[in-house]
Every structure is written in structure tokens, then in C-alpha cells.
Amino acid sequence: MKIDFQAPEFIANPYPVYAQLREQSPVYLLEPKVWLVTRYHDAEYLLKSPLLDKDIPSAFNQRYGRNMNDEPVYRMHNDFWASMNSPSRRKLVVKALNAGKMSDLRVLAQESAKQLVDKWITRKQADLMQVFACPFPVQVICNLLNIELEQSLDFLAEIKLIARSGEPKLLDATELETSNAAALRLDSFFRKICRERRKQPGDDLISQLLTAEEDGECLSEDEIISNLIILFMAGYGTTANALCNILRLLFLYPDQRELLLAKPELLTCAVEEGLRFSTSAPITFFVAVESFELQGVQIASGDTIYLALDSANHDPEIFVEPDRFWIDRPPTVKKLLSFGQGSHYCLGAKLGVLMLEVALETLFRRLPNLTIDNVEQLTWEPTWVFKSLESLPARW
């Protein structure tokens, strides 16, 4: 079975292909020593097991045939996952996230959303991705970091360039050079900020990361910078895209939008169902730290394993009528895998869900006549790492 995972048809609607893979080839060979896992139970098992490690440079060392830790974009990923894969260092990041301004997150997000809508509400039409979905999480994160928004809006393009390094398709020399340059620009920016906060610490997240300590252990500056870059990447890649995807679904299925407007207490359920139905970060990958067998397929130590989270979230073994968008969906024993699980659960999940709830509540309250133009003809960015619309034209 040969599948083009970069084809526009697959990017727009991967679920028929995933259904076929779950049935016929649940552990699918993408290329030699690179596998795609599509069933929920298998993905959940691997996320919770010690069989996999998030060693991005090692995964690509094998595929590129050289040491990718020499490349800034892959080194940045490695610094981040070094802190996430270590329980003690992960605990330090959690400690920083739970301190300072983090306690006022909802109020912070509500104020950011209000300020953004105030800027363009009188226009009566705009690309919601450009004027709200992308700048909203960036503004919230900037407030957490105590960084001027104007400094960081330029980073959206940089984040897109860095995200390409996670695509299953290898970068060519020009693409790698461009991604490296973006990683170095962000590294330089945050390294300067770290120096300033060491001299004048505050209650912002950067200061909390710099001072977090547990049993005499602290985060290195490289780990802090990589965590900050990934935070912005999650803000764009996960939150901004998830907001656009959920809005698209609510206008594709007007009965569900009307149900939400009639029962605003379903907002949290609507966000969760949107994240399940159209996972904004559809794939994640790991490296096998030892050999093992899965669904009759022998995985060797050092092999790269991609987990298709959006396929797992549509697995009929877990979810009743998985291809139905259903905001009051009956609860299941198993949870969606959009944020991972176990030690690989996203630390920013709570922040991401909170921002989505605030964004949707603000838009439907401030724009009661909101309409998405040509919702059935919206087009997708040609990427498998993020489920990302090119634009979201709207009127109100």
C-alpha cells in the first residue's frame, strides 16, 4: 500500500486513509526504519511505555546519515526534550509554570482577547487567522514572559520555519539552512532576554524558569531557551490552528454551533470534541530505545516511530461514530490523545484549552452575527506536522 502523505487530498481529509491503515496496516512502513502507528490502543501504549524516547537528533542522524545535533534547529529540539524526558527537570518546568502570573491566566487571556477584538471589530470583515487566531496566543504568552507583543509577532514566520524540521519528509539543504537561521534568531533573542532577567528578575515565566530549583538542580540556559521557543511553537501550531479548526467545524455543522450558543455550558466539551475531531498537531514521533514487536511487526532499536494522533482520535474501537462532530458526545473511558499521555503529556495543555475557551467565548459574545465565508472551500497549509488552514475569512 503506497500512500502520499503530502498530497493535498490527504492533508484535507486523512481519515479514509487512516481507516484503511488501522484495518490493514496498523504499523505502516513510511521508509526503511521509519514507522507510522495509527490505532488508538497502540499509540496509547507507546506513549505510556519506556520503549520510546523523544531524541529528535538521533532519529534524524540515521536518516540524514550524519550528526544532526550540529544543526541548530535539531539541537534546539534536543535541548527541549532533554528537559522533558528527565523527571527531575520536567518537574522544574512544571514548578515555573505554576508560579507567578500563571495563577491569573484566565483573566490575562480574557483581557488579551478583548484588546485584540477592539482593534478590528468595526471592520465588519477580516481574516480571523491573521487578526485573532495567531496573535491571541502569542499575546497571552508574551504577557506571561513580560515581552512586548511587537517584538514577538515577527516570530510567527520563524516558528513555521522551525516546525518544518519535524516533518517526515527530510529537509533539503536550502530548507535546512533556512530552519537553522530561524532557530538561531530566536535563540539570540531569548538569550538576550535571559541575561536581562538574571539582572532584574520579575514574576514572569522567564524569571521563574531561571530561578526554579529542586534539590539543588536547575535548568540550563539552553534548556530554558528551547522551552521558550517550543512554548511559542505550541501557541501557533496547537492553539492558533486549533481555534481556526474548531471555528471551521462549528460553521460546517451549524446544528452544533446552535447547540453551543443555546447551551454555553458545553463550551469545554466543544473544545475537547474539536481537538479530537481535527487534531491541530496530528503527528508526533519518537525513537525506539530497544527492539520490540507491535502488531506482528518487529521494531528495531533506533527506529523512528510516528504516532498518528488524529488517526487514534478517530478509532472506532474507542469513539462511537468517530467521524461525527458531536459536542455533547457521550463520555468514553479513554481520553483523546491530542496532547499525548503519560510522561509525554503536553505541559501546556491546560493553558491551551483555557485559551481556546476564552477565544471562542469572546468571539461568539462580541460577534453575534459571525459568519465564515466559503467554509466548505477553505484550503490547508501543505504540512503534516500541523493541521493548519491557510486563512479563515469571516464577516460579522
Given this model, what pLDDT does residue 236 score? Answer: 73
Cβ-based neighbours of 361, under 8 Å, separated by 6 or more? 264, 267
pLDDT value at 25 more than 90 = yes
In a domain, residue 135? The reply is yes
Of 57 and 303, the structure prediction assigns the larger pLDDT to 303
In a domain, residue 66? The reply is yes
pTM, 2 dp: 0.90
Q: How far is CA 78 from CA 6, 135, 138, in A?
A: 25, 27, 23
Cβ-based neighbours of 153, under 8 Å, separated by 6 or more? 135, 138
Looking up residue 92, the CATH number of its domain turns out to be 1.10.630.10
In a domain, residue 165? The reply is yes
Q: Using CA atoms, how far apart are residues 126 and 87, in angstroms rounded to an integer?
A: 44
In a domain, residue 194? The reply is yes
In a domain, residue 360? The reply is yes
For the chain, how many structural domains are there in total?
Answer: 1
> Helix (H) and strand (E) counts for the chain?
19, 12
In a domain, residue 346? The reply is yes
Domain that holds residue 41: 8-395
The half-sphere exposure of 290 on its side-chain side, counting CA atoms within 13 A, is 5
In a domain, residue 379? The reply is yes
Residue whose entry in the numeric block shows the C-alpha cell 484495518: 23
pLDDT digits (tens, 9 = 90+) for 224-270: 999 999 888 887 778 999 999 999 999 999 999 999 999 999 999 99
The DSSP output letter for 237 is I
Average pLDDT, the chain: 90
In a domain, residue 2? The reply is no
Given this model, what pLDDT does residue 151 score? Answer: 60
Residue whose entry in the numeric block shows the C-alpha cell 501504549: 45
pLDDT digits (tens, 9 = 90+) for 339-364: 998 878 888 888 899 999 999 999 99
